[in-house]
Amino acid sequence: MNAWLSTLAVLVCAALSFWLLQNLERTDRAARRAPAHEPDYYLQNMVRRTTGESGELLNILTAERVMHFPDDDSTELASPHLEIYNGATEPWHVIAERGWINSGNDVVLLHGEVEIWRYGADGGRSYQVLTTELRVLPREQYAETDNPTIIVGPSTVTHAIGMRANLAHDRLELINRVRSRYAVKPQS
Answer for the pair 176, 161: CB distance below 8 angstroms, yes or no.
yes
> Same structural domain for residues 54 and 28?
no
> Same structural domain for residues 73 and 162?
yes
Closest CA to 139 of 13, 46, 51, 31: 51
> Same structural domain for residues 28 and 48?
no
Looking at the DSSP bridge assignments, the partners of residue 165 are: 143, 172
Round the average pLDDT of the chain to a whole number and report it.
Answer: 83
Mean pLDDT of 119-135: 84
Which secondary structure element, helix H or strand E, spans residue 67, and what is its range?
Answer: strand 57-69
CA 53 to chain CA centroid, nearest Å: 26
> Same structural domain for residues 85 and 26?
no
Q: In the chain, how many domains are there? A: 2
**pLDDT, tens digit (0-9, with 9 covering 90-100), for 103-125:** 887 888 999 999 988 887 777 77
pLDDT above 60: residue 156: yes
| Within-domain flag for 166 | yes
**pLDDT, tens digit (0-9, with 9 covering 90-100), for 56-79:** 888 889 999 999 988 888 899 999
Specify the pLDDT at position 167: 85
Q: Give the span between the Cα atoms of 58 and 86, in whole angstroms.
A: 7
Which secondary structure element, helix H or strand E, spans residue 14, and what is its range?
Answer: helix 2-33
**pLDDT, tens digit (0-9, with 9 covering 90-100), for 2-53:** 677 677 666 676 676 777 677 777 766 665 665 677 878 889 999 989 888 8
> Same structural domain for residues 132 and 99?
yes
| Within-domain flag for 121 | yes
> Same structural domain for residues 27 and 54?
no
> Same structural domain for residues 11 and 30?
yes
> Same structural domain for residues 19 and 56?
no
| Within-domain flag for 188 | no
Range of the domain at 74: 41-182
Mean pLDDT of 159-185: 84
| Within-domain flag for 129 | yes
| Within-domain flag for 187 | no
Q: In CATH, what number is assigned to the domain containing residue 48?
A: 2.60.450.10
